[in-house]
Amino acid sequence: IPTRDTTAAPRMASKSHSEGVEKWTNSDVLKFLERNDLVALVPIFEENEVTGLDLLLLTEDELRSMLGITKLQAAKVKALVSSDAARPDIEEPGVSHDFQTGAIPRISDRLEDCGEDEAELSDLRRAGTGVSLPAPTATAPTATAVVADEMPTVSPATGWLLQPPAATATAAAAAVAQPSTPPPPRVVGTVIPMAVAPMLPPGTGALQLDAHTVALYQRSVASITQLEGERVAQELPAARSRLAATRKRLQLQEGKFEELRKEEAKRNKKLEELVGGKWYPGKYILGAKRREEKINRKTEKLEAVSQKVRAVASQLEELHAAEHQQSNLVSELAAKCTALDEARSFCSTLLQSAFAGGAVGDARENMLEAEVAALGPKIEEVRRFKSVYGKAYELMRGAREALDQAWQMLESASGLATIDVASNFLSPIPMMNSPGGLMVDIMKRGQMRQGVELCQVAGELALKSRAMVPDMPRVDAEKLRRLRMGFGMMDVVFDNLISDMMVASKIRGILGALRSVVSDVEYAERWLHGWISGRIDGDLRVLETTLSSKRTELHSYRMHLLEQWIAARARGAVSEAPPPPLAVRPSTVAIGMPMPAYGYVL
């Protein structure tokens, strides 16, 4: 695909944008409010000396209660801050943060850093661009030409957008161009017209196919034309949907029929018992009149149910017939689709094996083949970049989630530590343990330990992610290593003033060290997601679309060349037309003079 211009001057960003929200001063915050049409809030934020870190750490409710602004204004400020913080910074020299321009930052060359192995790389190659050749069978013989892959192996570059596609296509086309032929001798004099024999199309002189293969190819092309005209591939899904709906209706009608049959049998049994003289309430009191009324009523109900049974049975017969007809239609369409796929596969295999390489085919065919071959390594490289960037993003997101949980645990532990220290001053006997203070101390230390363990997990995940993409900006590996190692051991003395003050101070120190790491990890997560969604996915879609269109064009042109070759062979052609002669220059040689170098000129 066309490379983007990386020499243009980068888009300038304001100071508030380039420095990051967490580094904003009060003046930067005021400029931010003025830039977003929130001038009414400028005096309030100026009076309270609000900084960018305050905007990141305080929630909407805290901003509303502390600054005395409305809930809507607080929500606007937080939303604008989040959107501004989500923009990639450009403060790191040598690293592009514009996902639409420049080369994508490199990934690690070590397979262990990227979490890959040789099997995974081979899977990526198989899922790339190569066209697999089906094994020759009795119904689909291959051509006698040399079978080769449609896309020869090309060593990928370090970046798939480092050189323009025109240069790549030109170099690839030159590599597979036809061998140069010696220039014909210069003809002097008048050319005498002679009978022109049938000639093969240009570039097909080396093509060799036997009559049986040609006949199979022509039958396959005719079958493809007929089946595509019948639109069997489009009719099959609709026919399957109709068959599924008919079977669903048939299933419902069968259930309804069974229920009506049971009801009919039940009413028939009651009528038989009544006619047979079985006792019922009021039989001997009301006499025969009551019996006749019950017989008539039950007979009418039985007849109504029987009519329903007959109606449902008739519908069942119609549904069974429709289901049988639609099932046959689906089977017929499926068989035709299978035949269409086999014919297409045979034609594709034949064309691929007959025209592979630069010996067969004209300049346009060789150029299309070279373009298809050049797109293969590019797509493989883009897919590898997407795989590595995707793994790095998942690891960084896991690190960010672990840091969020660790922050909550450590904040809760900090609050308990403050309460524990205050309770020591309020205790009637200082430096003495109490059951309540001991319980608070145990909870505080447990939450602190869980927070530190989560920090270690986050550090490990973030380091793995950074190893996959070494050029990741604003991620300090030294900070992550300290985070992975933990923050030292906790003291073993419980519930006294000195120990509680030491633990509270240590928790506050951990929170301070964690704040900058959280900011870097959140930025790295956004940075990776930006490259994946803003660049890699788009490039991959463009390359795959281009490859599909080029393959279709190459297949169509090869079919055109082969049809011309078959028609020329049918007319008796055995060789290509000679190349056009060079331009005839005027000569002063007398007509009829013998010329030893050129023979006799008439």
The amino acid sitting at 489 is M
Q: What's the whole-number mean pLDDT along residues 419-439?
A: 64
Structure tokens at 77: 């400020």
The pLDDT tens digits for 218-238 are: 999 999 999 999 999 999 999
- Residue the block writes with tokens 């198989």: 126
The span from the CA of 477 to the CA of 447, in Å, is: 26
- Residue the block writes with tokens 């995974």: 120
CA end-to-end span of the chain, whole Å? 56
Q: Where are the domains of the chain?
A: 14-87, 229-355
The span from the CA of 508 to the CA of 502, in Å, is: 10
Asked if the model's pLDDT at residue 325 lies above 80, the reply is: yes
pLDDT number for residue 379: 93
Structure tokens at 438: 């001991």
| 14-87, CATH topology level | DNA polymerase; domain 1 (1.10.150)
Short-list 461, 472, 540, CA closest to 124: 540
The DSSP bridge pattern shows strands 594-595 and 599-600 to be: antiparallel
Structure tokens at 519: 């900011």
Q: Which residues contact 198 (CB under 8 A, 6 or more apart)?
A: 568, 571, 572, 573
Asked if the model's pLDDT at residue 425 lies above 90, the reply is: no
- Residue the block writes with tokens 């790339």: 128
The span from the CA of 484 to the CA of 278, in Å, is: 89
pLDDT number for residue 581: 66
In percent, the amount of the chain with pLDDT more than 90 equals 29
Asked if the model's pLDDT at residue 434 lies above 90, the reply is: no
The pLDDT tens digits for 2-47 are: 344 433 333 333 343 434 677 888 888 898 888 887 888 888 888 8
- pLDDT band of residue 96 (cuts 50, 70, 90) is very low
The amino acid sitting at 371 is E
Length, in residues, of the chain: 602
| Angle between helix 60-67 and helix 71-85 axes, rounded to 10 deg | 130
- Mean of the per-residue pLDDT values for the chain? 75
- Among 224-233, 483-492, 584-593, the range with the most confident prediction by mean pLDDT is 224-233
The pLDDT tens digits for 128-165 are: 444 333 333 333 333 333 333 333 333 333 333 333 33
